[in-house]
Amino acid sequence: MNDRSHVVERFAAFAEAFRAQPLPPEVLHHAKRAVIDWHAALFPGAAMAPATLLERALAEELDRGGARLALGRPATVRAAALINGAAAHTAEVDDIFRDGIYHPGAPTIAAALALAQGARASGEAFLRAVVVGYEISTRIGAAMGRAHYRYWHNTGTIGCFGACAAAAELLGLDRTRFAHALATVATFSAALQQAMRGDSMSKPLHAGNAAQAGLTAALAAKEGVTGSLDVLEGEAGYGRAMSDGPDWDKALATLGREFHVTRMTFKNHTCCGHSFAAIDGALALKANMGLEARDIERVRVGTYKAALDVAGIEQPRTPAEARFSLKYVVATALTGGSVRFAAFEPERLQDPATRALMERIEVSLDPELDAAFPRQRAARVAIDAAGGRRAEWLQPTRIGDPDAPLSDRQLEDKYLELAGPVLGETPARELLARLWVLESASDLGR
């Protein structure tokens, strides 16, 4: 493409050229890791609101169609994308692209799988579409940066591009129609930060809406619907309206050479990812000091601004609020040893020891750590304990981040812990085995 090509055309040119190339083995492996992690998030979320309520709301689009919901119920392609996309983002255990402040899996994989099932595509075609969706959307997310994240929820906004690109790849759109699909979906992009700051079901709906919006834009482009090709870089376009003028050349610089799908964060706790470094640091410091929770007199956490803004709920009343309360998740980690689903059961939410410890936790902005965000997600933790003991800990990254990744075995353990109670242990293991060889599947509609 020449230098005057629009940004969406340059993304489309990458997708068309990449289609003719074999998937590199490392990229294929990481794509399967992303799909396994998506299923780990999907199954618990499918048994929770809002996914259960969406099944009632969209009843006319269920029990027919070529796609399926998490537990096998037939659905139209768009309904499956919406409901599965929301389900995969509900339990707060879905993947993260750190530099883009973005959960790509929930919308991208939901859209790709629904369309692949409906079109009876192969496992390899599905995985290729996932890679294309990740590579395009993560670059848009990174380019939009912190300025975008101030008011917008990236999984709902940037996720539209991931879902659209994956769907356009599965549909085999040529570069012109692929570009128009991206141009159209930019105008569907929406999801507000305020929806994440209280007891609301809107946040997972952001991911579901992004999945179905991306799918809709790709299907429309296939039939000839056009968009404004300068929608990302134009004077009244996406970059200026929703950020501070991104550097699109920088965003595109490594496309096709470096693969972001190989640099995903897989969550190790079932809550907001902005609190992970504080949790990891608090647990490490407690172990290093040889403490019991009852010995802790004071905890101080220094972290970056987004963690304070997004996970700043002081007195959570519900599981949804508790997942976005840094004080709660740190306190429950110190009293209970982990922050998995049990941490948000009613009895744990009202646990006297946890609530008392929350009152002794202070959270503040650390300017040095804030300056490193979003490329680094760190926290400083200090604990004062009985007997005058005091220690500090710098947690430079989150366990599960690309520089401290979960192994394949750890990822499998996470999947089995989350999927097993919903599917049953044997079916969960059987599905896991199939996911590791997904590229060999000839027909995902079966």
What are the structure tokens assigned to 318, written together?
């519900």
Cα 379 → chain centroid? 21
What are the structure tokens assigned to 112, written together?
């790709």
φ/ψ (deg, to 5) at 75 = -155, 155
- Kindly list the distances between the CA atom of residue 132 and the CA atoms of 1, 253, 371, in Å, as whole numbers in the listed order: 18, 16, 30
- The helix (run of H) or strand (run of E) holding residue 319 is helix 319-322
**Are 129 and 112 spatial neighbours (Cβ–Cβ below 8 Å)?**
yes
3-state secondary structure 226-273: CCCCCCCCCCCCHHHHHCCCCCHHHHHCCECCECHHHHCECCCCCCCH
Buried b (16+ CB within 10 A) or exposed e, 342-358: ebbeeebbebeebbebb
Question: Tell me, what's the pLDDT at 7?
Answer: 98
Q: Where are the domains of the chain?
A: 7-267+406-440, 273-395
Ordered per-residue pLDDT tens for the chain, 446 residues: 445 799 999 999 999 999 999 999 999 999 999 999 999 999 999 999 999 999 999 999 999 999 999 999 999 999 999 999 999 999 999 999 999 999 999 999 999 999 999 999 999 999 999 999 999 999 999 999 999 999 999 999 999 999 999 999 999 999 999 999 999 999 999 999 999 888 899 999 999 999 999 999 999 999 999 999 999 999 999 999 999 999 999 999 999 999 999 999 999 999 999 999 999 999 999 999 999 999 999 999 999 999 999 999 999 999 989 999 999 999 999 999 989 888 999 999 999 999 999 999 999 999 999 999 999 999 999 999 999 999 999 999 999 999 999 999 999 999 999 999 999 999 999 999 999 999 999 999 98
Alpha helix (H) ranges present in 7-104? 7-19, 25-46, 51-57, 77-90
Question: Tell me, what's the pLDDT at 2?
Answer: 45
Cα 356 → chain centroid? 32
φ/ψ (deg, to 5) at 405 = -75, 155
What are the structure tokens assigned to 29, written together?
């492996």
Residue keyed to tokens 């990822």: 411
φ/ψ (deg, to 5) at 258 = -110, 140
CA distance 127 to 351: 44
Question: Tell me, what's the pLDDT at 3?
Answer: 55
Question: Tell me, what's the pLDDT at 387?
Answer: 93
φ/ψ (deg, to 5) at 393 = -145, 130
Instruction: Sort residue 297 into left (φ over 0), alpha (ψ -120 to 50) or beta.
Output: alpha
For the domain spanning 273-395, the CATH number is 3.30.1330.120
What is the pTM (predicted TM-score) of this model?
Answer: 0.93
Count CB neighbours of 442 within 10 A: 11
Question: Tell me, what's the pLDDT at 122?
Answer: 98
For the domain made up of 7-267+406-440, give the CATH fold.
Answer: 2-methylcitrate dehydratase PrpD (1.10.4100)
The 3-state DSSP class for residue 214 equals: helix
The 3-state DSSP class for residue 5 equals: coil
Q: Return all residues near 136 (Cβ < 8 A) that are at least 6 apart.
A: 11, 14, 15, 161, 162, 165, 182, 255
